[in-house]
Structure 1
Amino acid sequence: MHCPFCGHQETQVKDSRPSEDGTAIRRRRACNGCTQRFTTIERVQLRELTVIKADGRRIPFDRDKLARSIRIALRKRPIDEVRQERLLNGLVRQLEASGEQEISSRSIGELAMDALREIDGVAYVRFASVYRDFREIDAFSEILADMNHRSVPIDGTSQETP
């Protein structure tokens, strides 16, 4: 593992522990060159996924890009970090377990929207407005009407439909 600070090629693992949800291992490392410390996270990757963009380009799946999008949608919402990480891990597991090596960006976006719809209505609308590129107020009205029919939770808690 190269040091992110000085680029030295040798680092030493000082501590390893499983993440809170058990899907990753966090390792504390120290550089043998500059003595700086940093953390790495090791996750199981079932298969290499390729994303097919709307314009036909194929790019490697980037878990961090999906994580950023979800965290932006959930910013300042009552969803703690552990629950966000579980949501993200669940999405990635679904993608890897789909059996498909190539997945359209549209499928990933729809999967993320479905997951966000289940846990927080505001985050769902935020994500949908960017993902679906809302340009008119009517688009918001339509999605809000759909949410009312489905009893989407707005406060980060699950609601049962009667």
Structure 2
Amino acid sequence: MPGDGTGRREGRDETREECADRQWGELIQEVRVAQTGVQILFGFLLTVVFTPRYPQLEQTDQIIYILTVVLGASATGALVGPVSFHRIVAGRRIKPETVQWASRLTFAGLVLLLATMTSALLLVLRVATHDPFVPYLVALVLAWCLLCWFVLPLWARSRFTQD
């Protein structure tokens, strides 16, 4: 890290490995939050097919359901992936690389979680209301999540990142 002319370093004074350890701890905390949400949603989705109402759903709703379950399984896989990745490579002295890959899996998991939530919301609102306004409401919720999960953080990153 560049200094300020006084011999002090800007930012954290940590080695690459210390930085990776800190980032790993932060990432795992973030993954725990996302894993809980996706696991609850996925668990609920798995029960829907066993309800008496499922066979009565329109074919379109059944297709949306199947897509939602596949997205939920994929999100679960991506969000559990960092734990498995770390366990398999532990002790190989590649923590910085592990953090990078785990971060990528987490990001993919968040995108898949958003797709799962959107698809589940579409299905529930279609079945609950049969209202033609449903796609617009789902689009509004999707836009809100995109703003909260991606747009604001990317804006903050670009605005406040030091060169």
TM-score, length-normalised on structure 2? 0.28
> Relative contact order, CA 8 A, sep 6+: which one is greater?
2
Q: Which of the pair is proportionally richer in strand? A: 1
Q: Which structure dedicates a bigger proportion of its chain to helix? A: 2
Larger radius of gyration: 2
